[in-house]
Amino acid sequence: MIWFDISKLEDKISRNELSDKDGYNYVLAFSILSVLGMSISSQDGNAWIKLLNCVLLVLITIWGLDGAYKANTEIDGKDFFKRFFAINWVIGMRMLVVAFLFGIVLLIISKAIDTPMDKSPIKELISTIFLSLFSVIYYLLIIKSIRKLRPIVE
């Protein structure tokens, strides 16, 4: 990976020498930094649960992206980014709807049992577990969808 020399990277791309594996490494690094940034920027909550959440999401991101990349390689190893981001969009939209509906149900239950939605460590831990399971399901759906694809015939 090229870390700082943009001219060298532009040259490599211009010569069509940037492989899908190189691109995958950049996407993986970007995703890990994004997870770290979101986790670190959160101001409230228990520090240990925040750390657990951060570690789990980084590990799930690495596992999920690696699984998607390997699934694509098993097909024909072509067009990983087009496939991944297109599938990612549709599955992400579906998961967003599910998460929204789930959130409404939780809010209704919370109001019905008259429990405030505070930030107790137990509720934070439950939230961390839910987010981790949600992320695992998200990547499993992406991997499953990639595995259904047919090889590109030229």
64, part of any domain? yes
129, part of any domain? yes
152, part of any domain? no
> How many Å apart are CA 128 and CA 50, to the nearest integer?
8
Domain count, the chain: 1
30, part of any domain? yes
- In degrees and rounded to multiples of 5, residue 19 shows phi and psi of -80, 170
55, part of any domain? yes
Enclosing domain of residue 90? 12-147
Percent of the chain scored above 90 by pLDDT? 35
Q: What is the pLDDT of residues 44-96, one digit of tens each?
A: 677 788 888 889 999 999 999 999 999 999 998 888 888 999 999 999 999 99
Opening angle at CA 54, ends 53 and 58, nearest 5 = 115
pTM of the full predicted structure? 0.79
> How many Å apart are CA 110 and CA 115, to the nearest integer?
5
3, part of any domain? no
> How many Å apart are CA 71 and CA 111, to the nearest integer?
43
